[in-house]
Amino acid sequence: MDAVAAASAWLAQDPDPVTREELQAVLEAAQEGDAAAIADLDDRFSTRLAFGTAGLRGRLGAGSNRMNRVLVAQAAAGLAAYLVEKAAPGDAPTVVVGYDGRRNSDVFARDSAEIFAGAGLRAVLLPRLLPTPVLAFAVRHLDAAAGVMVTASHNPPDDNGYKVYLGGADEGSQIVPPADAEIAAHIQRVADEGDVARLARSVGYEIAPESLVEAYVEATAAVAPAPESAADTTWVYTAMHGVGWETFARILDAAGYPRPVPVAAQLEPDGAFPTVAFPNPEEPGAMDLAFEAAREAGAEFIIANDPDADRLAVAIPDGGAEGGWRRLTGNQIGLLLGWRAARLAAAEGDVSGRSLACSLVSSPGLGAVAEHFGLDFHTTLTGFKWISRAPGLVFGFEEALGYLVNPDTVRDKDGISAAIAMLGLIAEARGRGGSVADLLAEFGDTFGWFASDQVSVRVDDLSQIGRIMAALRAQHPSEVGGIAVERVEDLAEAPEGEPSGDVLRFWLEGGSRLIVRPSGTEPKLKLYLDVRGDSADDADARAAALAAGTRALLDAL
């Protein structure tokens, strides 16, 4: 079907007047020969957003290659068919649906709940916009067969997404193969059948009781009740225009922590994200307002969540005379929280079969922590769908600001429970007269000085990434930045049972490591650098030298 015919068919079934009007204008311009409109139409209909282990995610708009009510209806109907297929005869599986503050999140969530109910499932809609971790919690709390969270996390403002969790044996984790492909096949069948207006719908879905949110608040407050040393702490919090604050504030009160100085301009949900170019705490400039608030308040530290509150960022004073602040890396936060989790596990007694886990691109320092306390250690492919499935999991993290600190409650990254754990850790240090900076120094003295960096190559043509990966496979470098390569692992050829994928791992002399992989979400090649030094300065110097050598290696390819 050509783009014009596909657009016409789409218009006939689209229930959204906004996207219908948008598409009608593009279609008419294309039919009049407008080159830009023709290209736009082709981009909208030349493919469809692929449903995979991350569910759906893309730009809002009309067309099969955009996020919209037609695509969401197809996804909901396909997921419903999958759940009915897997259910025991006569059972009505439960599906819980949550949504954040992005544009159309509430609309997509209600559409999904109506389609689930229309398919004969027990559909439960969360009572209002809430953080992603509350949805992940609800899947287990309600013993649901599946959960859907409508969110694009920290993507650009014009994006939205559809994240799927499975209950039962999956314990509320995100989907992994083969479930993703099976669900995708059902979605494609629905799409092939045509008009989504013919899908059965029902308003007979339930609204989850407030007691569900209260249960999440209670469980998360119990992660780290405030010690006396938390009193009178001055700190700053930003929700990054997301949905974290209301729930987080209730947990702070329940756990006994003092309220923070808020970044008022970013505290309430706003899908336009007016004060940031990119609503991700990792992006340059995203935390500038928090730094300003911290300087004015004389704060000890800053805590930030991303818009759906499944990630955590922490910043501390940089020690300079100018009142500067620096954001900790995801690895630094992960190592501190992993250390805390390991200590607590060891204090409980026998640690046999219990483990720490991180993605293979995250700091190897977590392995040193596990070894120190006698815990198992697992590295997984990137993504919490894999980390959450590590056997005997006590704690898991990935360097992109994701932390799983309460696996008995939420089997996904949770920026709110991670924030409570971090507040507890900081309060303990404060009780000894210490700070976050002191914790980092103590970690280095105890486990070794680890430093990380990342080099990214953005491309216009995705074939460039394949060419670079092929070149590195054909001729392994003997050294990077003057550091000898001792061995190379190609995870595309990993043995059964080991993480496998389009990943190259170079182990360098002195314990350094370079990992190369294509990004799963952007047209980028990502290179992760990890070193171990004799001190903080030495580790930083080694990381800088390895980064320079990595860039030189890429330039030579």
Catalytic residues: 153
Hey, CA dihedral for 324, 325, 331, 336, is it positive or negative?
positive
- Cα gap 540→546, rounded to integer Å: 10
The DSSP result for 383-436, as a single string, is SHHHHTTSTTEEEEEETTTEEE--TTT-SS--HHHHHHHHHHHHHHHHHTT--H
Contact call for residues 37 and 45 (beta carbons, < 8 A): no
- Cα gap 237→244, rounded to integer Å: 10
H/E stretch holding 96: strand 94-99
- Cα gap 50→54, rounded to integer Å: 10
Contact call for residues 112 and 146 (beta carbons, < 8 A): no
| φ/ψ of residue 422, rounded to 5 | -65, -40
Burial group, residue 47, by CB count within 10 angstroms (0-12, 13-18, 19+): exposed
In 3D space, the residue among 303, 269, 278 whose CA is nearest the CA of residue 417 turns out to be 303
In 3D space, the residue among 294, 126, 273, 277 whose CA is nearest the CA of residue 214 turns out to be 126
User: ∠372-413-347 over CA atoms, to 5°?
Assistant: 30
H/E stretch holding 500: none
Question: For residue 443, which amino acid is it?
Answer: F
- Cα gap 30→519, rounded to integer Å: 33
List 451's β-bridge partners, or say none. 531
In 3D space, the residue among 436, 392, 407, 429 whose CA is nearest the CA of residue 220 turns out to be 407
Cis-peptide into 178, omega within 30 deg = yes
List 485's β-bridge partners, or say none. 508
| φ/ψ of residue 456, rounded to 5 | -120, 140
